Amino acid sequence: MRPGITVVIPTFPSRYNELGRAVASATNQTLPPEQVIVVVDNGHEGAAATRTRGLMQVETEWTAFLDDDDYFLPEHLEKLAELATSAKADLVFPGSP
């Protein structure tokens, strides 16, 4: 497994107009991800199954999930990576201050 972060974004064909903002926020990070994987749910399999298909493609140590109608603030991945490293955590989850 490679060090780094992969961002997985599940989406539906009807939401492609919102997808651009999510992808841009993932790629414009102060700590850029190694890869951004967009997984399309064409068969109405649901968010969990679509995320799992994306997760199966990940080759990095860390995975960040992002919904297609949401976005990351510019330092999102950097702050989570710093927290995970300093706490020696297996899992970190963003929350409100």
The CATH number that applies at residue 14 is 3.90.550.10
Look at residue 77 and tell me if it is in a domain.
yes
Taking only the tens of pLDDT, the chain with its 97 residues reads: 667 999 999 998 888 888 999 999 999 999 999 999 999 998 889 989 999 999 999 999 999 999 999 999 999 999 999 999 998 989 988 875 5
Tokens 């990095």: give the residue.
60
- By residue range, what is the domain housing residue 73? 2-87
In a domain, 63, yes or no: yes
Structural domains counted in the chain: 1
Q: Compute CA distances 51 → 42, 57, 85, 97, whole Å.
A: 13, 10, 24, 27
Position 18 scores a pLDDT of 87
Residue 52 resides in a domain: yes
92 within a domain of the structure (yes/no): no
Write down the pLDDT at residue 58. 97
Does residue 93 form part of some domain?
A: no
* Assigned domain for 25 exists: yes
Closest by CA position to 9, among listed 45, 44, 42, 53: 53
CB 84 within 8 A of CB 61: no
Q: What b/e readout covers 26-49, taking b as 16+ CB neighbours within 10 angstroms?
A: beebeeebebbbbbbbeeeeeeee
The whole-angstrom distance between residue 73's C-alpha and the CA centroid of its chain comes to 12
pTM value?
0.92
